[in-house]
Chain A
Amino acid sequence: MFFNSISFAIFLPIVFFLYWFLAKNNLKVQNLLLLLSSYVFYGWWDYRFLFLLVFSTFLDFFTGLKIYNSKKPTDKKTWLIISVVINLGFLCFFKYYNFFIDSFIPLIETIGFKPHIWTLNLILPVGISFYTFHGLSYVFDIYNNKYTPTKNFIDYSVFVSFFPLLVAGPIERATHLLPQVQKIRNFDYTYATQGLKQILWGLVKKVVIADNCAEYANIIFNNSSHYHGSTLLIGALLFTFQIYGDFSGYSDIALGTAKLFGFELLMNFNFPYFSRDIAEFWRRWHISLSSWFRDYLYIPLGGSKGGNWKKIRNTFIIFIVSGFWHGANWTFIIWGALNAVYFLPLLILNKNRHNMEIVASGKLLPSIKDVLNMGVTFLLVVFGWIFFRANNLSHALNYISILFSKSLFSIPEILPGYVFFYLALFMLIEWWGREEVNPLTKFSVMPNTIRWAFYYSLIILVLYFSDKDQQFIYFQF
């Protein structure tokens, strides 16, 4: 079930009313209802993979308890290893099996072997990367004595399977979400209306921005060898906004939906394209994944402690693993490595924590220096997205070679004016509301008629463009 589908538009109100009328004042019923709804939501896509979700949930619940109850450190470690190996084993099998076979068979053949290994026609279970990381964070936190495991399987299952975050995050932490699951939720008017506004803004991002950009970005990327460099620049820019609208739109809908049920999820995007350097960009882009890798990979590896070489090694590891998490393709690995290269100068010069506040905080316009910094950071990000979007490495390199040819200065063959018009409007609203969690909150102070008229316009825009039927990009991860 997709957030931008008719079935979800029917599913959500039904669950909402059952939750607040039938399950009111009863924690057990609330959680049971959320769990059943989450399984319906997931099973709508493919019920056969529900068993994998339930198995993964049970595995982490069980190993979590075992780690906690083990007295010897070696036993704790053994249970942790069991959990990590099985979790990552499933993830690697479904996500990376064919990649390893395709990448390494030619390598083995060059040294004379002719192995007979099958490639499998595997379907990637939706959300596997996300719920695996949910579960892993839980066992890691228990192992590190940061969290006491719950003994209630339903509560834990809701934490892993809560439908707003199940298929594309945000990647939650037990320390943040489980206490909310364990406490009865009471209806809060302000919170629920904030949720609806966030859902609306998420739909605008997805349907109006991402899907329109996708239409042209796909044409340009799929036929890149036939176009001028200037058109390829347009393609890269459109993909830049497509991926932002798509993924942050999904996150907004997830956060908004969770609010309707009285939950607060981790913020996943915080106006990343207004970043003044790459370090700031990574603090604002896919925050739940970046912080996951920081806490469970970067810091255990030593983080930024130690000498420069260790810092460089750790930075490359975290960015390359993060790239690889996105998919089994060398393009993602290069994208990760490229971002590490962008990041390193800031880290070595100790400038990676310079821009902690949102740009031009409390002001209407940024300074010239901020504009230049944002421009440079944005262009670096756009360049990186070329690798992310390309079908393979040679496609990316070919794209870049045409992009930086003389034809960059010719008139582009494709220039969708209406898309850029909507992009400009969208960025203006985002700029105006950049100090809020959701830019629509800015409209709260306006008179009802203006506010409602604005919301109506947004709903009509969403309906208007809702025939594009593009899937969410991050579902494939």
Chain B
Amino acid sequence: MKKFIRRIILFFVVFLLFFISVAKFDNVARCQNKNDNIQKLVCMQNFDSLDILFLGNSYCYSGINPTYFDSVGIKTYNLGVATAGANYCSVLANDYLKSVQKKPKSVFILVSPMTLSERTDDAMNNPIYRYTNHPLSVEEYMFLYSHDLIKSYPKIMARSFSRTFVNLYVHFTSKKNYCDNEENKMFTSKGFISSSNKANLKEELKTNHFFSHLRNNKFDTLRAKKLLDLALALESKNIKVVFYELPSNKLYSFFNSAYLHDYASFVTKLKQNHNFIFVNLNLNNDYYRDQDHLNADGAGIVCRDMIKQIKNNKELSELYFH
């Protein structure tokens, strides 16, 4: 029995030491990483003195094209990152503020039923906080933002462990360096990730299972509160906060009515205390790349509508145009 316990302890101690120490370095090839979400983090320090910093999830990076805003003299950067909700938006906003000299005039934060669902801030598949200019370890992120991650800690570390090897390989073999602006396509697109695909039934079938989990989601008031806390934190730094919602094709149909009811109440509350831009356009499949993301054509229409709304908003137009 003693031998068994000694061997088991030795086995797991060696495993844990090796496993955790390797997993710590999964961001080693940050400058060589092909992922658009990571490239835009590398690139963001080039975009100082912004009028608008856009925050949000993939709806943000596929729906907000800064070119349209630039064309009317509003300097913007799209820091939308896959799955970003309240936690990731906080990490991204803090990282941006630490990376630039001059803070932005305003931050636009995306709200949508998705950003308040369980499918948000996906630390497992998309641990963006490890790739920021000032990276956070899994433990730091867990301590500061998401205590409930303790359940997923071994899984996240396993992903980090395997990523370390891939990234080390990339680090020593890749000639591309996205820290060099000429290689980084996010430098020219300013964080917008364009798609010309159009939504169709066959493609939707492949991803429908992703949405099936949303049906049982309960509205999480804690996530909603975190979003409000982020707004307060930014406002305390004299940064104007605007919430916005984009058209999202079939997204609403994946949630249950109780969730949507609570979500609508939350949005009503937001509108009472903050500027809120809701792009209320009835777009067909030609303007979406799938069930819930806009494509490049959709982004064009949406951005023009947003600019119109900004111009019509006295407070915002004064902020950007005077």
Contacts and interface: CB of A to CB of B under 8 A. Distances in A.
Given A189-B3, A464-B162, A223 B151 contact: no
Interface in B130-167: 151-152, 154-155, 157-159, 161-162
Interface string A437-460: 000000000000000100110011
A215 B213 CA distance: 13
B205 interface: yes
A187 B202 CA distance: 57
A51 to B, nearest CB: 29
B260 interface: no
Contact of A20 (B1, B8, B206): B1
B211 to A, nearest CB: 12
B208 interface: yes
A75 interface: no
B18 interface: yes
B124 interface: yes
Nearest to A220: B205
Contact of B11 (A226, A414, A452, A464): A452
B14 interface: yes
Given A460-B158, A464-B158, A193 B11 contact: no
Given A219-B205, A223-B208, A452-B14, A467 B3 contact: no
B25 to A, nearest CB: 15
Contacts of A193: 4, 7
A464 B4 contact: no
A69 interface: no
Contact of A226 (B19, B161, B205): B205
Contact of A463 (B1, B7, B18, B157): B157
Interface of B: 1, 3-4, 7-8, 11, 14-15, 18-19, 124, 151-152, 154-155, 157-159, 161-162, 201-202, 205-206, 208-209
B205 A466 contact: no
A413 interface: yes
Nearest to A24: B1
B19 A215 contact: no
A120 interface: no
A187 B1 contact: yes
A467 B124 contact: yes
Contacts of B7: 193
Contact of A414 (B14, B152, B206): B206
Given A189-B4, A464-B162, A413 B155 contact: no
Given A226-B201, A463-B155, A187 B4 contact: yes
Interface of A: 6, 20, 187, 189, 192-193, 196, 215, 218-219, 222-223, 226-227, 413-414, 452, 455-456, 459-461, 463-464, 466-467
B15 A192 contact: no
A460 B209 contact: no
A452 B13 CA distance: 12
Given A413-B202, A464-B155, A459 B209 contact: no
29 contacts: A187-B4, A189-B1, A189-B3, A215-B209, A219-B205, A219-B209, A222-B209, A223-B208, A226-B201, A226-B205, A413-B202, A413-B206, A452-B11, A452-B14, A455-B11, A456-B18, A456-B19, A459-B15, A460-B161, A460-B162, A461-B158, A463-B154, A463-B157, A463-B158, A464-B159, A464-B161, A464-B162, A466-B155, A467-B155
Nearest to A196: B8
Contacts of A215: 209
Contacts of A461: 158
A407 B161 CA distance: 41
Residue of B4, B7, B11 most packed against chain A (CB within 10 A):
B4
B159 to A, nearest CB: 6
Contacts of B8: 196
Contacts of B162: 460, 464
A226 B155 CA distance: 34
A459 B16 CA distance: 11
Nearest to B125: A467
A57 B46 CA distance: 72
A467 B205 contact: no
A72 B171 CA distance: 83
